[in-house]
Structure 1
Amino acid sequence: MFERFTQGARAVVEGAVAYAESREAPAVTDEHLVLALLDAEGTKGSFVLHALGMERQRDTVERELAEARRRGGVSDADARALAGLGVDVDAIVARAEEEHGEGALAGTARRARRRLTGHRPFTPEAKDVLEKSLRAALGRGDRSIGDEHLLLALTARPGVPRDVLAGHGLSHDAVVRVLG
């Protein structure tokens, strides 16, 4: 499948791997793909991000992704919804961290293990994004997979990255509208 990736899409995947390595993460996640996409320049994906005002949101998105990871995958929107039901997510996280240490709910250490080759594997969520990007390209009649297809996939699949991006106006519908 990677032979179908454009230079821009390959740069995003390589950037995601670099993020995982710099953070000593055991695996490349869909969050790393988001961060690498936000760093892209001169691509269709970066055009979409710029058109939707994301160029000034990178640091905020990164903080929100890290906070959701710390809360065990609960996004800000989910936390607000739970608060409406009387569930204090921050209190639960604080209690878990008090008992088991900082980042106890992040769960990344047990979800993926580095292979003996030294390469970081992709989490099932990140693999799903890559597979959905192929479907997005095929659905649009494109011969190659660009970073815009990665963006379409990230905004289409349920999860924290989609919720965080949507909170900044970067919904799947908005991406489709900008791409035309």
Structure 2
Amino acid sequence: MFERFTDGARGVVTGAAGHSERTGADEITEEHMLLALLDQEGTRASFALASLGIGDRRESLVNALAEARRRGGLSTADADALAGIGIDLGEIVSKVEEAHGEGALLAGGRPKRWWPGRRGFSPAAKGTLEKALRIAAGRRDRHIGAEHILLALTARPGVVAEVLADHGATYGTVERAVFGVARAG
């Protein structure tokens, strides 16, 4: 699959690895891929993010992702579902942090790498790359670009897709920004 990646897509992968390394994460996640996309210039994906006004709202995206990490990676939809059965996630997070310190629900620990200095992709990040391949194939594109990775991030359920949607980047809006029109069906 990686032989079909454009320079922009390769830049997302290497940039995500860099973000993972800088934060001391155990693995490369979808969040790291989004941050790497936000770092890029001159790609179809960076154009789409800029045209949707997201490039200028990086701090807001980063804060929303940090809040999701504080909730143990649960999305707002997850929190709403729990609230529907009478569980206040905010209260649980507060009590856990009160007992164990701020950020107690954040993922952490020592890296669990097979090779020193190399981080693997989380299952969700691998799924995003696979989805990017399927999106490119579905569009009959011969390459996988950063735009396909961005579309895949919006298409897969989870915190990153939710944060992007909250900032106006849904699959449809990104597809229109990248390709001009959304495809039917």
TM-score by length of 2: 0.88
- Report the counterpart of residue 128 of structure 1 in structure 2: 127
Paired residues in the alignment total: 179
Q: Which amino acid is 2:48 matched to?
A: V
Q: Distance in 2 between matches of 1:123 and 1:109?
A: 15
CA-based RMSD of the aligned residues comes to 1.9
Q: Which amino acid is 1:177 matched to?
A: R
Structure 1 residues 70-121: Cα deviation after superposition (integer angstroms, max 9, x where no partner) = 10122345445655765332211121223344433233548x7222332011
Structure 2, gaps ≥5 residues long? 181-185
* Stretch moving more, 15-24 or 70-79: 70-79
- Report the counterpart of residue 52 of structure 1 in structure 2: 52
TM-score by length of 1: 0.90
Q: Secondary structure in 2 aligned to 1:131?
A: helix
Q: Which amino acid is 2:65 matched to?
A: L
Q: Is 2:182 the partner of 1:174?
A: no
Q: Distance in 2 between matches of 1:85 and 1:53?
A: 36
- Report the counterpart of residue 159 of structure 1 in structure 2: 158
* Stretch moving more, 91-100 or 119-128: 91-100
Q: Distance in 2 between matches of 1:84 and 1:39?
A: 38
Structure 1, gaps ≥5 residues long? none
1:93-112 equivalence runs, <5 A: 93-109=93-109
Structure 1 residues 105-148: Cα deviation after superposition (integer angstroms, max 9, x where no partner) = 233548x7222332011100111111111011101110010000
Q: Distance in 2 between matches of 1:108 and 1:137?
A: 34
- Report the counterpart of residue 13 of structure 1 in structure 2: 13
Q: Which amino acid is 1:115 matched to?
A: W
Structure 1 residues 10-51: Cα deviation after superposition (integer angstroms, max 9, x where no partner) = 111111000000111111100000111111100010111111
Q: Distance in 2 between matches of 1:82 and 1:124?
A: 24
